Amino acid sequence: MGKKTSLKDMPSFSQNENKNDSDNWSNNSQILPGPSSLPFIGNLHQIRDPMHIAFNQMSTKYGPIFKIKLGPQVYAIINDDKIVDDLVIRGGAIYFSSSSHYIPKETLPRDSEIAPYGTYWRTMHSLTRRAITRYIVNTHYQNIIHREVRNFMYRLYQTSSGPTDPTDDLKICILNVLATITYGSRSELTAPTFKRFYNSLAESYSMDANSKITGAFPWLSRTPSSVRKHKSRELKARKRLTDTAKELIVDLQQRVTTEKERQHCFAAQILRSIRKNNDRGITVQQLYEEIDHQTFDEYDSLHLIAMFLFGGTGAVTCQQRWIFAQLSYLPKEQYKIQRELYSLIGQGNYPSPKDYARLPYLRAVIRECLRFRPLGYFTVPHAIPVDDVYRGYHIPAKSTMLVNTNPLHFSSALWDRPKRFIPERFLDANGQLKQFKNDWEDPWVWCKGPQGCIGKELAERMLCTIVAYTLTYFTIQREIDPKTGQPFELNMKGEAYGLDLSAPSNFNLKFVPRAGIKFDELLRVDL
């Protein structure tokens, strides 16, 4: 197809029109444009990393929405904000389900991440949202965040004599925050079990690539090859994950039952909601054995908590690494944040929950960091269970919709000078954080609409706290090249493979202590 199909050129055909008349799919609608595909592999031979750039290039030829095939699976790729608004945000229930075609159900039976939209999906999302509201973050989780971030600052200070890669210490900080928030205990009794749980979780998720391959190419699962052996190892890893998570949940249940003071951790919130809404009167063991019943139970909470803990650690760590990398190029913006912090809370102090609303410039810089270098360039894939028509184009049932956020973040129609780092674009005329009328005018790091990230409030609070603490105690600089006397360049293109998380490489920075900060008193600050 030589001519680009623009949004304006698309036929004016009402969305969802003639949905009950199957004959009209061929008579009244067109096939989505896209490159020709090959048997078995689809368009895999035409896609190169970074995938978001490949899709940008395809969009210039095939238009703002086009289709590709990865193996037998059809993908509808969206590169336009108006189409995103029509389908992702306002498209209705048929666009709310997450894609699960590549995940073997015997290894991950039920999970809100892959559940189709319906009562079960709404139950899981409702329980999760109630467990991490802004009020709960402010009242029960804020001190946990401050304690772990403060410990992270002390570790940065210990390595501040030279350039360092903060990734490992940062990951420990975020993992400790989420672990404490998740299970509410860092006792010696639960620590070994939790370590086994996290190792099992990492092992299980590391096998997902093979699961996606066998899901995309089902015939591979029937071949007497290492693929089938890998599947057996994956099932064993999932069982270890289930067993260790069950130990943690049983321990937490005992604390919830005998609690002298109310447990406010994420898992306890979920368990209390289950008890309130599920009056079945059976034991925990029965709940684990009765996998196929349709009531939300402790088994479901296992996967919900695992998704919250493991996914949250990876996502926040990647995004904070990008923020650190970008700030190392932005000394003026660092200074403005430091001035804002000093004018609000004084030198060496840390912000309380009520202070975050009064730190508009810090939050604007973080939002611009999210726009400029997000942790990933694609939203969670959305499953389309039934046939639909959009602007005259047939979107087939069982296809997967994927939003490429790179064009949304760098569209000159949405942003003034999109390739420049301008935090002020998120501030209004009074210097306060701007409230956008449309969802697509905000960074898409946490996705939008019903499939938006449930943990957005907590994730943004952690990012704000880490940046506020870091710039209170340090100035971030790049390592100096001894040959030239100039700072080394960081690889700001990042390491992104397929749909996975993106993170900067060659990541050595200097965290230079600011004058007047007494680090020997840092760990004695009351929270």
pLDDT average per 10 residues of sequence, the chain (527 residues): 45 37 55 92 84 89 93 90 83 64 40 54 69 78 88 90 90 86 60 71 59 52 56 72 74 67 65 60 40 50 69 86 94 96 78 82 94 83 85 89 87 89 93 73 64 78 93 93 88 61 77 83 58
> Which pLDDT does position 237 carry in this prediction?
74
| Calpha distance 406→422 (Å, rounded) | 17
Write out the binding residues: 453
User: What strand order describes the sheet that includes 382-384?
Assistant: 65-70, 73-78, 399-403, 382-384
> Which pLDDT does position 386 carry in this prediction?
86
Joined together, the tokens standing for residue 234 give: 């994956």
> Which pLDDT does position 149 carry in this prediction?
92
Q: Domain coordinates of the chain in residue numbers?
A: 120-524
Write out the binding residues for heme: 453
Report the helix count and the strand count for the chain, using DSSP H and E: 18, 11
| Calpha distance 390→207 (Å, rounded) | 36
> Which pLDDT does position 406 carry in this prediction?
86
Q: Where are the beta strands (DSSP E) in 183-279?
A: none
Three-state SS sequence of 425-461? HHECCCCCECCCCCHHHCCCCCCCHHHCCCCHHHHHH
| Calpha distance 303→242 (Å, rounded) | 9
pTM: 0.80
| Cα 55-57-62 angle, rounded to 5 deg | 85
Are 382 and 375 contacting, i.e. CB atoms less than 8 angstroms apart? Answer: no
CATH of domain 120-524: 1.10.630.10
Alpha-helix runs per DSSP H in 290-404: 298-306, 312-327, 331-345, 360-372
> Which pLDDT does position 347 carry in this prediction?
66
> Which pLDDT does position 98 carry in this prediction?
62
